[in-house]
Amino acid sequence: MPRKIEIFDTTLRDGEQTPGVSLNVQEKLEIARQLVKLSVDVIEAGFPIASNGDFKAVKTIAENVKGPVIAGLARANFPDIDRAAEAVKAAERPRIHTFIASSPIHMKYKLKMTEDQVLEAAVAAVKRAKSYVEDVEFSAEDASRSDMEFLCRLYSAAINAGATVINVPDTVGYTTPKEFGRLIETLMVRIPEIDKVKVSIHCHDDLGMAVANSLEAVACGATQIECAVNGLGERAGNASLEEVVMAIDTRKDFYQVEHNIDTKQIYRTSKMISTLTGIFIQPNKAIVGANAFAHEAGIHQHGVLEQKSTYEIMMPQSIGLTTNTLVLGKHSGRHAFAERLKEMGYDLSQNELNKAFGRFKDLADKKKEISDRDIEAIVEDQVIKLPQHIELEYFQVSTGNKSIATATVRVKIKDEIIEEAATGDGPIDSVYKALERACNINCKLVDYSIRSVSGGKDALGEVIVKVEKNGRIYIGRGLSTNIVEASVLAYTNAMNKTLWNNGYSNQ
């Protein structure tokens, strides 16, 4: 009988550490609920002591999300562990994940501790965590660059102190598959108590080998893989959940293991997280990229038409993509729209469906044919809607190659209508300045990106902006066939988030 591999998702913890990513509590909760649909085994919801926002997010997820284990990260010290315990205590299945560095370079330069001091701190941390929860995970940070003798002593001590999971991280993405496989095999042989615990691995992608290292570890006996959707994470990111899962799924003959993931939720999950984090998925990204199931070369197209398995080693439907060619347009009704959403893996409430259908009809007045990508964009735009303290009533921009761009905006803030105008270096700059004046909010625009959702002159344009205010990054998204309107909506969305984060919702 195949071994069962558990999938530990760290999108909300390590994934949120991706440069430029900042999620609020509602967005994290929505992602956690989608991870439940994906059927991950563990959700690492955050690092509770890192900030009040992180604590609140972990606590909210613990209180509202049922099914998976809910884990909170903690360094090997009592304040961290106490804070994590408080955050996860309401969870149906709580876990505290505590860690301390074990490599010579980390112990010498970061911790300034000896091996014995690290071992003592690890044991005390695991015992403290065990006093709060039954399920305790212990990680030896930078395990792949640690001394093997010390690593075995450390893990053995952690298990005897009460750890139920030991995690072996390749923290800086330094190791190679053969090396990492040997490391796991050695630990499995040399730690007498290892059969009492789950053996987890956490690989980073600095050398592009996170997925390969994770899969090699599984082949050598690991039973839990820590990964993130779309490969998000520190620096070059973590092992990509969708790549790990589909490799196991597609090569069952080789790996001889099983997982609990509902693969048909992969594409939906990937799109949601791309939308909420503002990190676009590269077209040639394995599994979920736009080109993953595209065939350009004539010989490939011929082969696929004759027999799909000639060039497709997995079916698009296996990750939740549809191949339905039914065309939706302005004459399509609610029923046809609802059916298409179901085929695409969306499960909307009646209220969400009504809103999405309204957006669909508005778009259908501007576009002759609506593609699946258009529908995805419409629905994802409805995923998280914070209170709209700033409502855009109207905007107008005048610009030209030999004139100064001028913009006028009218917004509604707490039932007050405010109108302002400004000039700037182009239409976007001028309208953003006018918005800032009208809302009396000064933000620093740190990133602006635009892409076409689908093809054609009437394609939807999606704009993602990242603004900085008081040292924090806020992500705004706008969607329209008019790219200036999409830009305005994105900036308004970001400004609404700055107000919401600063307690405006309670006023």
For the chain, domain boundaries: 3-277, 298-381, 390-506
What number of CA atoms fall less than 13 Å from residue 370's CA on the CB side? 25
Q: Is the dihedral of CA 330, 332, 334, 339 positive or negative?
A: negative
**Model confidence pLDDT, tens digit, residues 214-262:** 999 999 999 999 999 999 999 999 999 999 999 999 999 999 999 999 9
Instruction: Give the Cα separation of 270 and 249 in Å (integer).
Output: 17
Q: 216: closest CA among 248, 174, 258, 249?
A: 248
For the chain, what percentages of helix, strand and coil (3-state, to nearest 5) are there? 45, 25, 30
- State the DSSP code for 131: T
> Greatest CA separation found in the chain?
78
**What per-residue confidence (pLDDT) applies to 505?**
40
Backbone angles phi, psi at 165, to 5 degrees: -135, 135
CATH 3.30.160.270, domain 390-506, yes or no: yes
Q: How confident is the model at residue 300 (pLDDT cuts 50, 70, 90)?
A: very low
403, β-bridge pairs: 400
Of 17-31, 214-228, 279-293, 472-486, the range with the highest mean pLDDT is 214-228
Q: Which residues contact 379 (CB under 8 A, 6 or more apart)?
A: 341, 346, 348, 356
Contact 91, 99 (CB under 8 A): no
Which ranges in 220-265 belong to alpha helices (H)? Answer: 241-250, 252-255
Q: What is the mean pLDDT of residues 99-118?
A: 98
Q: Centre a 10 Å sphere on the Cβ of residue 134 and count the other Cβ atoms it contains.
A: 11
**Model confidence pLDDT, tens digit, residues 351-377:** 888 888 888 888 888 777 777 778 877
Instruction: Give the Cα separation of 231 and 10 in Å (integer).
Output: 10
Residue 311 pLDDT exceeds 70: no
Backbone angles phi, psi at 135, to 5 degrees: -100, 110
Residue 380 pLDDT exceeds 80: no
Instruction: Give the Cα separation of 60 and 53 in Å (integer).
Output: 10
pTM, whole model, 2 decimals? 0.86
Instruction: Give the Cα separation of 220 and 178 in Å (integer).
Output: 10
**Model confidence pLDDT, tens digit, residues 207-216:** 999 999 999 9
Element (H, E) at 63: helix 52-64
- In CATH, what number does 3-277 get? 3.20.20.70
Which ranges in 75-228 belong to alpha helices (H)? Answer: 78-88, 104-106, 115-130, 148-161, 177-190, 210-219
Element (H, E) at 141: strand 135-141
Contact 65, 36 (CB under 8 A): yes
**Model confidence pLDDT, tens digit, residues 41-51:** 999 999 999 99
**What per-residue confidence (pLDDT) applies to 301?**
45
